[in-house]
Structure 1
Amino acid sequence: MNDKKLARICWNSNNWQKPSGKLGKVKNNKSYETETGYGHEEWLLDVGKLVDGYHYAYIQAVGQHHAKYLGCTYDISFYTIDGVTKLRWWLGEILNVQVIESEESRKVYNVYKRKGWLNEMYAQLDAVDADTAQFKRISAVNFCCIKFLPEDIKLLEEPLPFYSGNPAVKSDYYNLKNRISVPEFGSFGEFIFASGGMGVKDRTSAVYRGKITDIDLVHNQIQKCLHELFDEQYGSVNVSVENLTGFGTKIDVVVRLGKSFVFYEIKTANTAKQCIREALSQLLEYSCYTNRNLAKRLVVVSPAKLTDEANAYLQNIRKLFNIPLFYQSIDLENKTLTKEA
């Protein structure tokens, strides 16, 4: 049985498949990330590049003490820290991680070079204004230090947040620690309705899915308006903003109707069709990811007017697939909401 280890990796908002830039990285003038604009683990999960069935990568926790771990095989859990919010995120585990010889790293480097993968990595660094020249100075024997099979990746579907001081993580240094435990995540896996919600700001940041993106002003104005309208219509105890799903995501607005719920997803695209396209998969996931259907109705809310064609599309979805999907258009100036269609 492999020893269980724990490693911190650099912040990345592209799912560790390619570099994501300086935002969220360590803010320390002496750190490698600050100097170069990228971290060692940016490509940790880029499993599209395999050599003899294995994915090769570099993690600082192993690489900086390579000789100590050489030839060992570990099950490594990973976490990261958002340098902006300081929030810690638990990512899950990779099993059977093998620490490789320097000569194997050299061979893998040559494969990457021959297949054009190195040039692809250079272009990805250029795209986020990272120090590509510094990356090119990394020697072939230090290019990678671990390998694992893609099927041994056992990461969470969504990274889960935990806070500083959690006993599962004793320190935040980039070293390889013995894994003591997994953080407690509260009501993970369970949807719990909680009336009220976060204070709605004019501008905020959304994490963790994919990139960190600035949610636009219109989204937050809609959320605030819905909160006010629904508080008046249903009572504040029956309205929730940013309600946790229980599996690492949040629902824009939830209304409780007795023992059932209505989930609202806000979209700001230019057309109703595009809003429906963007919202449908999210609403289905929020309601159906667990072993029961949580929502009685799923509603897309947007400033875009519903066209006859988009309305017919909604009716087709309900008729053909029995999905209770509806649409409401909101007028922010007059603070009004159309009936569900």
Structure 2
Amino acid sequence: MSINEIASKINKLTVGTRPFGSLQEIRNRRGHSTRSWKPFASSSKYREYAFHDGGRKELQFNIAHDFLHSIDVFRYGVAFSFSEDRIVKNSKETFQAAVERFNIYYSSDRAYFKGFHLWYYSNKELANYFEDVKEIDDTLFQPGNFVFIGKYFEKDVEEISDDDIEEIIKTFDYLIPLYEYVQFGTSNIEKRIARLCWNDNGWIMPSGSYGKSTNGKTHEAKSSYGYEEWVFDISKLINGYHYGFLQPVHNQRDAYESRTFNAWLYSINGATKKRYWIGEIKNLEVLSEQDAEIIKKEYIRRGWLEEMKDQIIASGVSVDGLFGGKGIDQFNVRYLPANLKLRDNYIEIPLEHPINEQTRYNFTHYKDDFDVKVPDQTNDFAFTLSHNVADSNEDTTLERRIQVREPKLIEIQYLHDAISKALTKKLKEKYGNENVRAEHPAGYGSNRIDIVVKDNDDLIFYEIKSYISLRTSIREAIGQLMEYSLWTSHKKAKKLIVITQPSDDFENAKVYFKHLRDNFNLPLYYQSFDLEKNILSEIF
């Protein structure tokens, strides 16, 4: 493909369906003239690069053929072009405020730029490349410089595939909040604290009355469920967004309508009184009443609302009056799945933590004091022996322990089944109908392999996992694949492939699977499957 063809394909795949496709609408609402509702116009496409229409004086979305370490690369991301011409006569004056806002955004949320790189040109010559993004200092912010923040493929333009284009679109979707803040001076994204009602099912579906608040004034105490119990069910997407509900937002929704926040999430087990830090949602957008009504109608049309009612019944709770009233009473926020950052294991919050002083369901401003110490995640493993714990052989007394239900991640079964169905169809197109079977018997007991492919004289086993956490999905899948193929002294498959939905931890997964093969000679591989776009990634 050429630059023009890639830009045109991005237009076609995003306008009306993806956040990036709304770029010109965003610009138009801010008073910027638009010649087209497509992000890339013919006037901003060139042989070697393209940028969004109107982007010459803005933080521009940019795609280009380039070179890095003497290798052909295709880069995609955002950029500042500080060159001066008839459009930009004084680059310092034109970009001063935008550069300052970029630096504020960067310093307030460096994790946002994980996986992105920065390089810049001075007078059309590559001046420097940084593996990690940094502030745009006086060296970078000079007339004639071009500063790029983004990612790249080690490919020439002609080698870019449909899968690559999908990755570009996902990245552009992710960068929209940065663009809006940098370009238009939207108030800095505030970080707030939101309490979720208790849920044993990973906030994928209702879990019943256990652990719910006993305060008779709350909805969850009266009904034994809360509308937040689906807030992480990212199997339900509309134009790339998941829509959900947060009670703290609902309590003062007029103050938050149409604003964007970073939400720090915690929950209290009403039975044990333990508090847990669950994770965060970045760039959480608060809906208007009109938008919420549209979403509720769409949920009804797709049968999702009926499914949610069935889940309430299955949890042992009455559905009387469920989902009555306005849409805003059930849907008040939305976010991109890539911005959902959950802990693999929820972190228990100590009793002395200031969260204990917060009143119920306030959308409180986040303070540094709320930070929870995360257990060391480094790989500097060393065997240690505690001198405070007696050797287990010295004490054979068994204590009677009270069993409590701790929070856990659960698999999104609907998403699992939908991926299985779509992936089976795709594999049949490649290998032939007779060579692909879903839910194949494992050969012992009632165990079944998600998908088995016959590739000439060899077999390939696929195991699908749809936990929100990529690491949890991988952990659960590997054990099953190993057992299916090797129990008890067999080697049934030439390849064992773990399938998950796309994740921003994708690069770490690639490294991990290569590490497993290199060190243990195991035929383990990884692929992601984007259900919404029906795209299977390369195998890693």
Is TM > 0.5 for Structure 1 vs Structure 2?
Answer: yes
1:134: how far off? Answer: 2.5
Paired residue for 1:286?
none
Q: Alignment partner for residue 12 of structure 1, among 175, 179, 199?
A: 199
In structure 2, what is the Cα distance between the partners aligned to 1:56 and 1:312? Answer: 48
Q: What does 1:61-210 align with in structure 2 at a 5 Å threshold?
A: 61-167=248-354, 170-181=357-368, 182-185=370-373, 187-189=375-377, 194=386, 195=389, 200-210=399-409
Show the counterpart of 2:230: 43
Distance 2:195 2:328 in 1: 23
1:160-181 Cα offsets, whole Å, 9 max, x none, are: 0012330355314111001113
Code of the residue aligned with 2:406 in structure 1: it is: V
Deviations 1:10-34 (A, max 9, x none): 0111111100110011112332111
Q: Secondary structure at the match of 2:354?
A: coil
Give the AA of the match of 2:264.
S
Cα offset, 1:313, TM superposition: 7.1
Kept in 1, the 8 Å contact 2:207–2:315? The answer is yes
When residues 209 and 154 of structure 1 are mapped into structure 2, their CA distance, relative to the original with a 3 A threshold, is same
Counterpart-to-counterpart distance in 1, 2:487 and 2:372: 44
Q: Which moved more, 1:108-117 or 1:173-182?
A: 173-182
| Distance in 1 between residues matched to 2:195 and 2:230, nearest whole Å | 14
Work out whether residues 37 and 129 of structure 1, in 8 Å CA contact, stay in contact via their aligned partners in 2. Answer: no
Q: 1:51 to 1:322 in 2, by over 3 A?
A: closer
Find the aligned partners of 1:138 and 1:189 in 2 and give their Cα distance. Answer: 45
Residues 133 and 193 of structure 1: CA distance in aligned 2, closer, same or farther (over 3 Å): farther
Runs of 4+ in 1 over 6 A off after TM superposition: none
Displacement of 1:143 in angstroms is 2.4
2:90 corresponds in structure 1 to none
Q: Give 1:204's aligned amino acid.
A: Q
Whole-angstrom distance in 2 between the partners of 1:5 and 1:199: 45
The change in CA–CA distance for 1:321 and 1:20 in structure 2 (over 3 A counts) is same
Q: Residue 55 of structure 1 is aligned with which of 217, 242, 245?
A: 242
How far apart in 2 are the matches of 1:193 and 1:75? 40
Work out the CA distance in 1 between the residues paired with 2:332 and 2:230. 13
Is 2:189 the partner of 1:2? yes
Q: Which residue in 1 is equivalent to 2:441?
A: none
How many aligned residue pairs are there? Answer: 232
Q: Using the alignment, how far apart are the partners of 2:342 and 2:356 within structure 1?
A: 18
Whole-Å Cα distance in 2 between the matches of residues 135 and 112 of structure 1?
14
| AA matched with 2:322 | F
Aligned equivalents of 1:71 and 1:177: distance in 2?
18
Asked if the contact 1:167–1:183 (Cα under 8 Å) also holds between the matched residues in 2, the reply is no
321 and 120 in structure 1: CA distance in 2 versus 1, 3 angstrom threshold: same
Q: Is the 8 A contact 1:78 1:90 kept in 2?
A: yes
Counting aligned pairs with the same residue, the percent is: 28
Shift of 1:310: 6.3
1:130 CA displacement: 1.8
* Aligned partner letter, 1:52: N
Which consecutive residues of structure 2, in runs of 5 or more, have no partner in the other structure? 1-187, 411-444, 447-470, 472-485, 492-518, 523-540
CA contact (8 A) 1:77 1:92 kept: yes
* Shift in alpha-carbon separation, 1:45–1:98, aligned structure 2, 3 A: same
Match of 2:151 in 1: none
Ranges in structure 1 where 5+ consecutive residues have no aligned partner: 212-272, 275-288, 290-308, 315-319, 324-341
Say which SS state the counterpart of residue 41 (structure 1) adopts.
helix
In the TM superposition, residue 141 of structure 1 has moved relative to its aligned partner by 3.7
What is the DSSP-based 3-state SS (H/G/I as helix, E as strand, rest coil) of the residue aligned with 1:94? strand
Select the structure of larger CA radius of gyration: 2
Structure 1 residues 322, 59: closer, same or farther in 2, change over 3 A? Answer: same
Give the drift of 1:199. 7.6
CA drift at 1:98 = 0.8
Rounded to whole Å, the distance in 2 between the matches of 1:101 and 1:53 is: 18
Give the secondary-structure state (helix, strand or coil) at the position aligned to 1:204: coil
Offset at 1:37? Answer: 1.0
Amino acid at match of 1:124: Q
Alpha carbons of 1:138 and 1:13: their partners in 2 closer, same or farther (altered >3 Å)? farther
Aligned residue in 1 for 2:425: none
Per the TM alignment, residue 208 of structure 1 is displaced from its structure 2 partner at its CA by 2.9
Distance 1:22 1:204 in 2: 17
After superposition, residues 140-289 of structure 1 pair within 5 angstroms as 140-167=327-354, 170-181=357-368, 182-185=370-373, 187-189=375-377, 194=386, 195=389, 200-210=399-409
**In 2, distance between residues paired with 1:79 and 1:169?**
11
**Equivalent of residue 213 in structure 2, options 12, 23, 26:** 26
The 1-side partners of 2:223 and 2:283 are apart by: 30
In 2, Cα distance between equivalents of 1:312 and 1:6: 52
2:195–2:267 contact (8 Å) kept in structure 1:
yes
TM-score normalized with structure 1 length: 0.59
**Counterpart residue type for residue 404 of structure 2:** S
Q: Which has the higher contact order (CA 8 A, sep 6+)?
A: 1
Cα RMSD (Å): 3.6
Contact 2:196 2:266 survives alignment (8 Å): yes
**Cα gap change, 1:205/1:115 in structure 2, threshold over 3 Å: closer, same or farther?**
same
Q: Using the alignment, how far apart are the partners of 2:407 and 2:222 within structure 1?
A: 25
Q: Structure 1 residues 3, 112: CA separation in 2 closer, same or farther (over 3 Å shift)?
A: same
User: Could you say which structure has the higher helix fraction?
Assistant: 2
